[in-house]
């Protein structure tokens, strides 16, 4: 089904087709020419047929470009031999433009290679051989003008086709980049949800297994934490996967800095005693709050996974210049003289780095000299981004 713009173009082509037909009928009915050129002397029906074949196919040039070029060129070549034309093959130029625009190079280039010698040959024969009206130099000049009209129109169409193809490729590249970014964002969200909750479950499962016989009450408490954490993780996973499956599916509440206290409480249940300090973060944008929340979540997940039981200091401060996020744990109690080993860099630290880089911030992470591990992130204040 044609769009409104396409219907407009088809209507314009139809108008041009009728105008060309009328013009060529007028050329054929000339009885004398002021320019001294020979005029058509054949039957009226033949001139009308030639005029219709020159003009009317232009109405459908967008549907059948090659066929229209062949028909128009044949009619114009015949008209040249019968001394009808008084213009440089405008109809052939209109048809050649669509061939260059709509047809692939493997068809449009050969079509041009055939059209140019046919048109120029017919013009030269009509001007200098069949009914000579020019010397050979004049005939060559007229043929050159026809060559310029057809070749220029084809070249313009071919150039427009190339620009449109490049624009389409660029649009595909942008779409692919957007898709890759969306996949990365979803991967980060899923990693944050799964990694954090499974770390809590793993720690508490270890506690339950260790104290099951000696302290059943503690084991039941650990199993209760596992149950609550599992339900929370499943709910978050369902919401995230629901968004992937269904366009417009509602998202759950976006985590913000008000939930850092709940995050600290979850970590504490898993054996990490969190000292949380939040200052100057009022008015931060929703996206920035989510980024800060996920950074703190991932850092605490690493502390639960690698250092529990331990203490952890979490500081989130913001001012007019930057947002500062510092998470430092004391590490596991170790024997004197035991070297401090760096934690392996997994997807968690990579996710923190990506979130920091996305906002044009900085990221540092590594073992502390006094023991434990520290993560430090600096994000530009929103007004400076």
Q: Indicate if the pLDDT at residue 29 is higher than 80.
A: yes
150 shares its domain with 299: no
> Is residue 250 over pLDDT 70?
no
| 305 Cα distance to chain centroid | 39
**What does the pLDDT average to over 276-301?**
86
Among 188-197, 235-244, 351-360, the minimum mean pLDDT is found in 235-244
- What's the confidence (pLDDT) of residue 113? 94
CATH number for the domain spanning 283: value is 3.30.565.10
Does residue 370 fall inside a structural domain?
A: yes
Quick one: how many helices (H) and strands (E) in the chain?
Answer: 10, 5
Quote the tokens at residue 1.
């089904």
Residue 139 sits in the same domain as residue 280? no
Specify the higher pLDDT residue, 320 or 98.
98
User: For the chain, first and last CA: distance in Å?
Assistant: 46
| Residue where a domain stops, chosen among 141, 173, 205 | 173
Q: Where residue 275 falls among pLDDT bands split at 50, 70, 90?
A: very high
Q: Does 153 or 245 have the greater pLDDT score?
A: 153
- Whether 261 and 135 map to the same domain: the answer is no
Tell whether 162 and 21 lie within a shared domain. yes
Could you tell me if residue 201 is inside a domain? no
Confidence bin at 114 (pLDDT 50/70/90): very high
Residue 8 clears pLDDT 50, i.e. is over it: yes
Q: Is the pLDDT of residue 231 over 80?
A: no
- The whole-angstrom separation of Cα 242 and Cα 233 is 14
* Residue at 313 is within a domain: yes
What integer pLDDT is reported at residue 138 of this predicted model?
Answer: 81
* 124 lies in some domain: yes
| 41 inside domain | yes
In a domain, 207, yes or no: no
| Residues 275 and 141 placed together within one structural domain of the fold | no
Residues 70 and 94: their CA atoms lie apart, in Å, by: 12
Asked if 160 and 273 sit in the same domain, the reply is no
CA 16 to CA 6: how far, in whole Å? 15
Residue 208 lies in a domain: no
Say if 235 falls within a structural domain: no
Encoded tokens for 9: 């173009």
Q: Is the peptide bond before 309 cis (omega within 30 degrees of 0)?
A: yes
Provide the number of structural domains found in the chain.
Answer: 2
Beta bridge partners of 379: 323
Segment among 250-254, 289-293, 365-369 with least mean pLDDT: 250-254
Looking at the structure, tell me whether residues 151 and 282 fall in a common domain: no
Same structural domain, 27 and 169: yes
Angle (CA) 348-353-359 rounded to 5° is 135
Output the pLDDT for position 344.
43
Answer with the residue of higher pLDDT: 123 or 1.
123
Cα–Cα distance for residue pair 325/278, rounded to 1 Å: 9
Output the pLDDT for position 174.
85
pLDDT value at position 4? Answer: 67
Lowest mean pLDDT among 51-55, 88-92, 193-197, 368-372: 193-197
Q: What is the mean pLDDT of residues 3-16?
A: 84
Query: In this predicted model, what pLDDT tens digit does every residue of 47-103 receive, in sequence order?
Result: 899 999 999 999 999 999 999 999 999 999 999 888 888 888 999 999 999 999 999
Q: Which of 173, 207, 242 is the last residue of a domain?
A: 173
- 166 and 266 belong to one structural domain: no
What is the model's pLDDT at position 248?
Answer: 46
Range of the domain at 367: 257-385
Q: How far apart are CA 237 and CA 280, in angstroms?
A: 32
What distance in Å separates the CA atoms of residue 118 and residue 73, rounded to the nearest whole number? Answer: 8
Residue 149 and residue 19 share a domain: yes
Phi-psi region of 279 (alpha: psi -120 to 50; beta: other; left: phi over 0): beta
Is residue 36 domain-shared with residue 155, that is, in the same domain? yes
> Within this chain, do residues 269 and 383 fall inside the same structural domain, yes or no?
yes
User: How far is the CA of 66 from the CAs of 61, 62, 312, in angstroms?
Assistant: 8, 10, 75
pLDDT value at 160 more than 80: yes
pLDDT of amino acid 379? 92
Q: Each residue of 322-331: pLDDT tens digit?
A: 999 999 998 8
Residue 343 has pLDDT above 50, yes or no: no
Q: Which of 173, 202, 219 is the last residue of a domain?
A: 173
Q: What is the mean pLDDT of the chain?
A: 82
């Amino acid at each position: 089904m044609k769009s409104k713009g396409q219907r407009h173009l088809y209507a314009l082509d139809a108008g041009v087709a009728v105008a060309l037909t009328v013009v060529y009928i007028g050329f054929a009915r000339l009885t004398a020419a002021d320019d001294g050129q020979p005029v058509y002397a054949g039957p009226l029906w033949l001139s009308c047929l030639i005029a219709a074949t020159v003009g009317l196919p232009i109405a459908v040039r967008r549907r059948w470009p090659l066929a229209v070029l062949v028909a128009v060129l044949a009619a114009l070549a015949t008209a040249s031999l019968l001394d009808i034309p008084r213009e440089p093959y405008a109809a052939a130029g209109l048809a050649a433009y669509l061939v260059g625009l709509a047809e692939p190079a493997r068809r449009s280039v050969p079509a041009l290679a055939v059209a140019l010698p046919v048109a120029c040959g017919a013009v030269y024969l009509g001007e200098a051989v069949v009914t000579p009206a020019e010397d050979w130099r004049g005939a060559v000049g007229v043929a050159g003008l026809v060559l310029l009209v057809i070749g220029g129109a084809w070249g313009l169409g071919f150039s427009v086709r190339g620009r449109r193809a490049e624009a389409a490729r660029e649009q595909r590249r942008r779409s692919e980049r957007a898709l890759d970014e969306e996949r990365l964002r979803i991967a980060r969200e899923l990693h944050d949800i799964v990694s954090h909750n499974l770390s809590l479950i793993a720690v508490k499962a270890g506690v339950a297994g260790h104290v099951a016989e000696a302290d059943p009450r503690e084991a039941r408490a650990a199993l209760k934490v596992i149950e609550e954490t599992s339900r929370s993780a499943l709910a978050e996973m369902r919401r995230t996967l629901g968004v992937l499956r269904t366009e417009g599916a509602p998202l759950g509440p976006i985590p913000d800095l008000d939930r850092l206290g709940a995050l600290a409480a979850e970590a504490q249940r898993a054996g990490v005693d969190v000292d949380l300090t939040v200052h100057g973060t009022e008015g931060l944008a929703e996206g920035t709050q989510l980024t800060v929340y996920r950074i703190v979540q991932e850092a605490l997940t690493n502390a639960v996974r690698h250092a529990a039981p331990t203490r952890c200091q979490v500081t989130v401060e913001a001012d007019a210049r930057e947002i500062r996020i510092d998470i430092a744990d004391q590490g596991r109690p170790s024997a004197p003289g035991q070297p401090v080993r760096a934690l392996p860099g997994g997807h968690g630290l990579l996710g923190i780095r990506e979130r920091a880089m996305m906002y044009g911030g900085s990221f540092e992470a590594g073992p502390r000299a006094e023991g434990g591990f520290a993560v430090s992130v600096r994000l530009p204040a929103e007004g400076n981004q």
